Amino acid sequence: MPDNEILLSATGLTKTFGEFTAVDGIDFAVRKGECFGFLGPNGAGKSSTMRMVGCVSPVTSGELRLFGLDPAGNGPAIRARLGSCPQRDTLDEELTVEENLWIYGRYFGLSRKEVRSRAAELLDFAQLTDRAGDKVEPLSGGMKRRLTIARSLINSPEILLLDEPTTGLDPQARHVLWDRLFRLKRSGVTLVLTTHYMDEAEQLCDRLVVMDHGRIVAEGSPRSLIDEFSTREVLELRFDAEDHKDFAEQVTGIGERVEVLPDRLLVYADDGEQAAAVVHSRGIEPLSSLVRRATLEDVFLHLTGRTLVD
């Protein structure tokens, strides 16, 4: 199989619930071996898209193909080649860690022997070998997520779907999970994920689409999106809460553009320190002044006028 083979594609993909359009005619293609992301705020239509891709929710209109097959009529054949990690863990808390894997493996038709050896491999991958015989209930959130991912890999899927893989996890647990996902990608599994965390998208995704109100508003690699829609750096200025909007006029013309957020001003400039020096030379005195590199959050703000996480 060539590496750039397209495993998943959508043209004009649409999902409506009654009068409401949750996914509004989107086009995308995912190549073998890449990590592809859907980045957008809550309600953008990411999960609805993932459920159609996972063949658990019918397509309203448009074309969707997985491994060249149409989910309408080929659901079971496609699902056998997919792993799916839903937004909420659906582990059986009464069972032990390894029993959760065994049951799933049997469901996929693996023999008892195959299930045992695959489960042992996956527990090692998920760094849960020590907890194999423990009940699921007392595990940490990060461990449960890793077990859910291990479970979704029991049938050795070619594509793994991850809906908001690290929502609700603490920073350390997120980094452990990212590391596992990197390894998985290196082993050749194609990853498709949704997230509303720009750092997650930046860390993991080779390519992504930015979604808002059911539509795709931009697409590319994290780097190319930042290069296209932002400056290299951003100067963040905070003033006394009540009057910071008044300062927006005073900083106009510094850098490429200024965004006014409820709690701060963002000055977009390739050289943030130089922009800060100009602010200072104009006699403007912010409470705090911070230069940082631009992120996908800035891309989203530029494209939609809103922040990703309100």
Ligand X SMILES: Nc1ncnc2c1ncn2[C@@H]1O[C@H](COP(=O)(O)OP(=O)(O)OP(=O)(O)O)[C@@H](O)[C@H]1O
Q: How far is the CB of 142 from ligand X (least distance, A)?
A: 20
φ/ψ of residue 138, rounded to 5:
-80, 0
Give min distance, CB of 163 to ligand X, in A.
7
Please state the closest distance from residue 309 (CB atom) to ligand X, in A.
Answer: 11
45 vs 157, beta carbon nearer ligand X: 45
Q: Which is nearer to ligand X, 80 or 309 (CB)?
A: 309
Q: Strand pairing partners for 288?
A: 238
Kindly write out the interface string for residues 195-214 of this chain, putting x where it contacts ligand X by CB under 6 A and - elsewhere. -x------------------
Instruction: Compare residues 45 and 286 and give the one whose CB is closer to ligand X.
Output: 45
Mark residues 27-56: x for contact with ligand X by CB under 6 A, - for none: -------------x-xxxxxxx--------
Closest CA to 53 of 40, 38, 41, 34: 38
Length reported for the chain: 310
Contact present, 44 and 70 (Cβ < 8 Å): no
* Tokens matching residue 275: 């922009």
Residues 12 and 122: their CA atoms lie apart, in Å, by: 37
Number of residues that bind ligand X (CB under 6 A): 13
CB-nearer residue toward ligand X: 44 or 159: 44
Distances from the Cα of 245 to the Cα of 197, 223, 256, 259, 269, angstroms: 27, 30, 18, 10, 19
Rg value, the chain, Cα: 22
Tell me which residue has tokens 């909420």. 88
Binding mask 108-147 vs ligand X (x if CB under 6 A, - otherwise)? ----------------------------------------
Binding to ligand X (CB under 6 A) within 159-188 occurs at 164
The upper half-sphere exposure of residue 4, i.e. CA atoms within 13 Å in the direction of its Cβ, equals 0
Task: Please choose, from the candidates 125, 172, 195, the residue with its C-alpha nearest in 3D space to the C-alpha of residue 153.
Answer: 125
Smallest gap, in angstroms, from Cβ of residue 152 to ligand X? Answer: 18
State the binding string over 3-22 for ligand X (x if CB under 6 A, else -). Answer: --------------x--x-x
Q: How far apart are CA 6 and CA 66, in angstroms?
A: 9
Per rule CB under 6 A, is residue 220 in the interface with ligand X? no
The residue (of 57 and 96) whose beta carbon lies closer to ligand X is 57
Residues near ligand X (CB under 6 A) = 17, 20, 22, 40, 42-48, 164, 196
